[in-house]
Amino acid sequence: MRTLSGAAILCVATRVWPVSTPTGKIKADATSVLIIVDVQRCFMAGGTLAVPHGEDVVPVINKIAAAFENVVMTQDWHPAGHVSFASSHPGRKPFETIKLGYGKQVLWPDHCVQGTPDAALDKDLHIPQTELIVRKGFHRDVDSYSAFEEADRKTPTGLQGYLKERGIERVFVSGLATDFCVAWTALDARKAAFETYVIEDACRGIDLNGSVAAAWSEMEKRGVKRIQSTDIELGSAQI
């Protein structure tokens, strides 16, 4: 398993399957990758930035991952005092929005601090074929939601090049949270010309003032396909 430190390195009424089985399900092939976004202790119940029911994605992801030859994970990896922390802005509270040099920034509780147990990948993930872990958000002065590009929208993580070099054409996104890191990752995958799917029941959202619905709307506009884990052919790998 490799770790890539890049920056922090989401419609359809009619579905177009990449490779389909006689049952009409999606069969992941060698040109497909499953991206597992930020399934970390900080986003689980009892974590510093718990996503409601975030832990429910783990068994779903473990099950579908068996169908994928190619798997990439991301890991939020913030230094203490990160710009996205409300504690770094005197008088501000978590979940307020401020404007920074690169645009709007939601302020979060301190979370996923480098080297702490809170930042660890969830211990119940069992995906030994994972090829790459992309750590993101490690630059102190810029946040990073997407697996492909930091929030300044100009600093790449290197993931796009890695996937292109590997001959990947289709990206399947899962993890946390639907309305932030999952959506940004899926939208950037589309921007990079990958056929992109978000596995809805393998994700959970934070939902700040309707942000989950807004994320799905934007993803659908950009051609991201919304599917369920049951749409994926597990075959002999089914557990």
Three state DSSP letters for 57-73: HHHHHHHHHCCCCCEEE
Taking a C-beta distance cutoff of 8 angstroms, is the pair 185, 161 a contact?
Answer: no
User: How many Å separate Cα 205 from the centre of its chain?
Assistant: 11
Q: Under the phi-then-psi rule, with left for phi > 0, alpha for psi from -120 to 50, and beta for the rest, what region is 4? A: beta
User: Which tokens sit at 149?
Assistant: 């590009």
168 contact partners, CB below 8 Å, separation of at least 6: 31, 32, 33, 70, 194
How many degrees, rounded to 5, is the angle at CA 156 between CA 60 and CA 134? Answer: 35
Q: List residues with catalytic annotation.
A: 38, 136, 181
- Tell me the backbone φ, ψ of residue 218, rounded to 5 degrees: -65, -40
Backbone φ and ψ of 215, nearest 5°: -65, -45
Structure tokens at 210: 């309707």
